[in-house]
Chain A
């Protein structure tokens, strides 16, 4: 059979088609519930699909993965609670849009752009898998470290009016990410002798607390405000909007594929980088970023779905997971007797094309289910606050407990929730805290690897950085971002008529 036959396998078999549809549908709802992660859902699926035929199992899991990454945006837009870390950036502008009564339009637009991103990811996976994976494997620890620094510099985008407050929040997140046993030396860091802290603080608990609990507590101030009726008459986005935002969507999709293809990174980092890209490149947004800019909604959504295709590249071609879900997928493939790695494309090319075809199908189902379920989903925000807020608390608490079936995660979630509430009250952004927690281990570990490989010499590290074109590009971007924040640069850039 040729590549096309393998590609179309799941399209032509009713069982495979049905399983992909079911997986995508479930994935959307799993992704939308904070605390229920796609990784968790795929892990659970492995346990009851390992006796199935490998194609059936993969169809269901691929659907859950694709749907789950998209689904996280729904609660981010409607309730300001990202269903998954990859939807953190979506909440920044998606929620303000919902507050203006435009939830239907926001979800419709995010659905279409997620699908566009998904397709870009799949096309790159199909066409450039070997090349992209070769590029990704050339990344040195110092490059990963710089990638982490770049991510942390996004606080400039997420910090609102005060950069100092944003930097504080980002650094706090980095510090929270270091809690537990050091992965390189097993030394205790900020554990205060508590064994439960050896595994660190779960980022999902921090996320639910900072976004869910603090937002719900904040909402209590506005109990008497009338519920905003969501305009759900226009679910299919305007063609003019699609045309207008398509270039940005494509640009951020490519960011998503590249970041997704880098082992250890994933949709969350891709989405944040895409958000930053949109903020920097959009000259005159109709609505400012953070207050409901459609660009701020589209960019992360296109990127995080494109990252799915990207994450498959190192998984299928090198056997290295692109993110947590693909790490679970590798386990599933091994269980089914497949060997993901450089030889997979040679020995089992059908698996590659079957996966590409299946991802394409799942992406189409995201469009179908994404656009048809909006009316029901939008009703959630029209629910009276007196009912909705207790439900958010309940879901947050159960979601935090579901991470490890441990009460300690609830305590952490509540502590961060109350702290996040006060942060919000006094103008501290909570987004950078989550960003810091996510990027902490990537930056910390790679900084130490980089400096160890240079035997502790900062000057050697710098010299070697200048000898690598890739490192030079990354360093130049960092320097440019730093310089672009200075008053001298802004004065120079400002048009003469404003001087």
Chain B
């Protein structure tokens, strides 16, 4: 199995730290698995998690050791490879969107998210971004909310009242 256990030939920036964190995480999970029912019985609720986390420790240690041995890639920086500004900004936008989704409601928060993210990534005129965001939102809303009746966070928009008043127009 040795050949398959060999790690990548070169090490990317931050890879050593990531692999080390995986070892630490695996050890922590093993400890948590042990706390379920210790080493009491093979049929105990903790037996399977213990086995899985032990495998994680073993595999992460092998990966970490291989990473230690491999040479670093030249001319590649952590900032450019892992977290370039574009990724960091979009991650922040997603985080903000998830936080405001429940309080602001699906319609407003999704529209704001689409508008800001498309404008940031696509850089076209405001009118163009506005229409694309609106169109996308309408399609998603029709599919999820109206066709499949998925209850989406209402927030500050009185969605149900609006829907029922639209329905009443048809009666």
Contacts and interface: CB of A to CB of B under 8 A. Distances in A.
A40 B151 CA distance: 13
Interface residues of B, number: 70
Contacts of B45: 182, 184-185, 187, 189
26 contacts: A40-B148, A44-B148, A162-B7, A162-B63, A168-B26, A171-B55, A174-B52, A175-B53, A182-B45, A190-B49, A220-B86, A387-B132, A387-B136, A390-B113, A393-B90, A394-B110, A398-B106, A401-B101, A402-B148, A407-B101, A407-B153, A421-B87, A425-B81, A444-B48, A456-B42, A487-B3
Interface of B: 1-8, 12, 14-15, 18-19, 22, 26, 29, 32-33, 36-37, 41-43, 45-49, 52-53, 55-56, 59-60, 62-63, 66, 81-82, 84, 86-87, 90-91, 94-95, 97-98, 101-102, 106, 110, 113-114, 117-118, 121-123, 132, 136, 140, 143-144, 148-153
B1 to A, nearest CB: 5
A425 B81 CA distance: 8
A165 interface: yes
A390 B63 contact: no
Contact of B122 (A386, A443, A444, A448): A386
A497 B151 CA distance: 65
Given A44-B148, A172-B56, A414-B98, A426 B123 contact: no
Contacts of A444: 48
Interface in A392-427: 393-395, 397-398, 401-402, 405, 407, 410-411, 414, 418, 421-422, 425-427
Contacts of A398: 106, 110, 140, 144, 150, 152
A242 B146 CA distance: 40
Contacts of B118: 386-387, 390
A425 B91 contact: no
A407 B155 CA distance: 13
Contacts of B102: 407
A456 B140 CA distance: 53
Given A41-B148, A223-B86, A164 B37 contact: no
Interface of A: 30, 33, 36, 40-41, 44, 156, 159, 161-165, 167-168, 171-172, 174-175, 178, 182, 184-185, 187-190, 213, 217, 220-221, 223, 384-387, 389-391, 393-395, 397-398, 401-402, 405, 407, 410-411, 414, 418, 421-422, 425-427, 436, 440, 443-444, 447-448, 451-452, 456, 458, 485-487
B7 A414 contact: no
Contacts of B53: 171, 175
Contacts of B86: 220, 223
Given A174-B48, A405-B150, A410 B62 contact: no
A446 B140 CA distance: 41
A30, A168, A190 interface centre (most CB from chain B within 10 Å): A168
Contacts of A174: 48, 52
A479 B110 CA distance: 52
Nearest to A443: B48
Contact of A397 (B33, B49, B60, B101): B101
Contacts of A458: 42
Nearest to A167: B59
Given A174-B52, A221-B84, A422 B144 contact: no
A217 B1 contact: no
Contacts of A440: 48
Contacts of A36: 144, 148
Given A389-B121, A390-B117, 15 more contacts: A30-B148, A161-B8, A162-B5, A164-B4, A175-B29, A178-B48, A223-B86, A386-B121, A386-B123, A389-B117, A397-B101, A402-B150, A414-B98, A425-B12, A487-B3
B99 to A, nearest CB: 9
B91 A418 contact: yes
Contacts of A184: 45
Contacts of B18: 422, 426
Given A401-B152, A485-B1, A425 B82 contact: yes
Contacts of A427: 7-8
Given A395-B140, A397-B101, A410-B98, A168 B60 contact: yes
A41 B150 CA distance: 11
B95 A414 contact: yes
A167 B55 contact: yes
A164 B7 contact: yes
B21 to A, nearest CB: 9
A390 B119 CA distance: 10
A175 B52 contact: yes
B56 to A, nearest CB: 4
Closest 4 CB pairs of A and B: A386-B122, A168-B59, A386-B121, A163-B4
